[in-house]
Structure 1
């Protein structure tokens, strides 16, 4: 069976990408995270509902749905001494249908829900079943929907920002300038970095916002240069993505005198996806966080062997959910799926490494810190293999 403290057998995963984050519904789930939840019979198969975005009419949603189901069934096959009765429900990527399917799943006997993917749908599902005492482990990374009976399994800005900020401070790069886009994602990223700085030995050197356009990036470069000069910042923390402003920033900032040999570039998002990004001169030497590469590769290989194709980037989140459920149920306690059990501090072994759920509905994942040298990803601080404290 899965143990809460030790790695489960045959684990590992492809690197996590973003789980979708959409707008919130107006209401919030009832607060169950502090300990509420169902009573189960651990000697019987545990009914688990998997809510996937199948049926939306978008081909991409069907691909995600199948990968999540495949990964969940792969995890079930790895369980030892624990039986899971998995039932799959199609949400069509829609909040209203997610809510109705969540209710149907509970009526069918589900003791916990995995999914949905999109933030609005996950929030709606949580609200719909909160009064039934059922927790929802969503595949979203949108922490604005987290809390009460809704947990997010996707990689969060807070977790990444905390990991990188603490590492930067340990390397003497503790005077951090934040450069963020003014869209929702950039604002959330900026807020996460600010919280990370407040909880670390680092200090905030300043904040430079920019409009998410080529003109906006170009206009912000002199502001970044001025802020670095006036504050003495020794690190620039960028929320920009490889598909957005990152290539332009890493070209223009060195040309403006903010050179990476003097000021450390740090990225809130993955700089190794897509692989072509590694070819950019400006990203060489930058720092970013990623899941344990070895475990990611092992899961990719296992999934490919089982299904003949690689997993979707978020497919492994379903494996993680089953791994956590299996570890808790395997301990034989009838309260295994309550909020208190789900948020126990030791955490779980997932396909990308260790992770644990927080009482506020967020999560903490053990991430590695990597850099890019000679167009290759090099891990400079390995992912932790256990959590050293009680968590957030």
Structure 2
């Protein structure tokens, strides 16, 4: 680590007890992914599930066989959850958080709404394959997980053969498709939201300083694609490694075009936004009148540098996310990472599908509803390629590193 402290933040892969009854009622009336249970006349929210609710749900005609793993809930429809519970380090931590969020969802929505069988993949592809095989043999109608891309690849081989759909939590879009859907925070959507909002506010010419890693390359490609569609111009891109010297070299190389550009895109976290801005200034770039842009990584970045005041970045709606995190912390004693909300929303979505369509409802036609779904993590929908599209909030950095909303998250998908 350099003296400047340049670092990349990892991509993130309040209801008190007295409000519990109100929260449960809100969930059942359509506040989360199971919005399909709400009145069909509510035009302000996406229903998510096509067609009218059935008067009688399809019943489970055969008793489910015994299952291996922890069982959460006592519903007649079984869903397997493949998580890296015993994986070392952060992998095991996120596995436990996803498991806890699933429990919270089942408690909110009713123990008889679903039966979740939690299976430990240990973060190992071979184990994920074995657990997926076991889940199909045990009559699971849907699989939630796995988390890591190599696990998803292996589990998908057996799930596709069995005709089962998986809603995985990987942020690697290359593993999606063929019955595998990703409920995750794909970085492409965040980049698109940031750039599109800046363009709508009159910023048409961009340069980008991106970290020299896979995430940086992904952000660069999406920025090029978004600006290409909108008619904007990406004048130059420079990549940097996590060292002062590399950042200075990149800033020197891009200085001339940065002087011409209206916006400077920095899709990195930690101290990187401030470090990049300082390097640009030291190379003669006048940042006054230019708009600095970031991504959700800025939520955990050091933003107190006055140079960053006025910058914009897109991220998940932090108010709604904060409500979930507070409820989680109230029950489990610690605030979870942002990814935990994906488990809650996925379980709520599964419950909504079962209540409308029974165990036969986990089909592409239902999962890919263009109206989408909504949850604590915001409005989202799945594409036919297994990727997802999400609604994000755009924030502006205030003095002292605080932030305010300048463009709220959309509450529905226009034209859906």
TM range (shorter): 0.7 to 0.9
**How is 1:53-68 mapped onto 2 (pairs within 5 angstroms)?**
53-56=84-87, 58-68=88-98
Inter-CA distance 332–151: structure 2 relative to 1 (3 Å threshold) = closer
Inter-CA distance 358–3: structure 2 relative to 1 (3 Å threshold) = farther
Q: Aligned equivalents of 1:97 and 1:380: distance in 2?
A: 45
Tell me the equivalent position of 2:262.
234
**Range moving further from structure 2, 251-260 or 215-224:** 251-260
Number of equivalent positions: 356
TM-superposed CA distance for 1:386, in Å, is 1.2
Q: Aligned equivalents of 2:269 and 2:315: distance in 1?
A: 14
- CA RMSD in angstroms comes to 2.6
Contact 2:274 2:303 in 1 (8 A): no
Tell me the equivalent position of 1:17.
none
Inter-CA distance 146–377: structure 2 relative to 1 (3 Å threshold) = same
Inter-CA distance 334–49: structure 2 relative to 1 (3 Å threshold) = closer
Q: Aligned equivalents of 1:55 and 1:346: distance in 2?
A: 37
Q: Aligned equivalents of 1:212 and 1:308: distance in 2?
A: 35
Inter-CA distance 292–269: structure 2 relative to 1 (3 Å threshold) = closer
1:379 to 405, 408, 413: 405
Larger RCO of the pair (alpha carbons < 8 Å, separation 6+): 1
Q: TM-score, normalised by structure 1?
A: 0.84
Inter-CA distance 196–46: structure 2 relative to 1 (3 Å threshold) = farther
Q: Aligned equivalents of 1:372 and 1:343: distance in 2?
A: 35
Q: 1:194-226: CA deviations, max 9, x gaps?
A: 122223243322322334433221101012211
Contact 2:379 2:390 in 1 (8 A): yes
Tell me the equivalent position of 2:32.
8
TM-superposed CA distance for 1:163, in Å, is 0.8
Residue 254 of structure 1 aligns to a residue whose secondary structure is helix
Inter-CA distance 220–357: structure 2 relative to 1 (3 Å threshold) = same
Q: 1:247-279: CA deviations, max 9, x gaps?
A: 3102222333434432211113421215xx132
Q: Aligned equivalents of 1:174 and 1:280: distance in 2?
A: 25
1:50 counterpart = 2:81:
yes
1:246 counterpart = 2:273:
yes
TM-superposed CA distance for 1:80, in Å, is 6.0
Tell me the equivalent position of 1:200.
230
Larger % of helix: which?
Answer: 2
Which consecutive residues of structure 2, in runs of 5 or more, have no partner in the other structure?
1-24, 36-56, 61-74
2:210 to 173, 180, 183: 180
Residue 387 of structure 1 aligns to a residue whose secondary structure is coil
Which consecutive residues of structure 1, in runs of 5 or more, have no partner in the other structure?
12-39
Contact 1:5 1:346 in 2 (8 A): no
**How is 1:11-90 mapped onto 2 (pairs within 5 angstroms)?**
41=58, 45-56=76-87, 58-79=88-109, 83-90=113-120
Contact 1:123 1:150 in 2 (8 A): no
Bigger-Rg structure (1/2): 2
Tell me the equivalent position of 2:148.
118
1:171 counterpart = 2:196:
no
Inter-CA distance 256–262: structure 2 relative to 1 (3 Å threshold) = farther
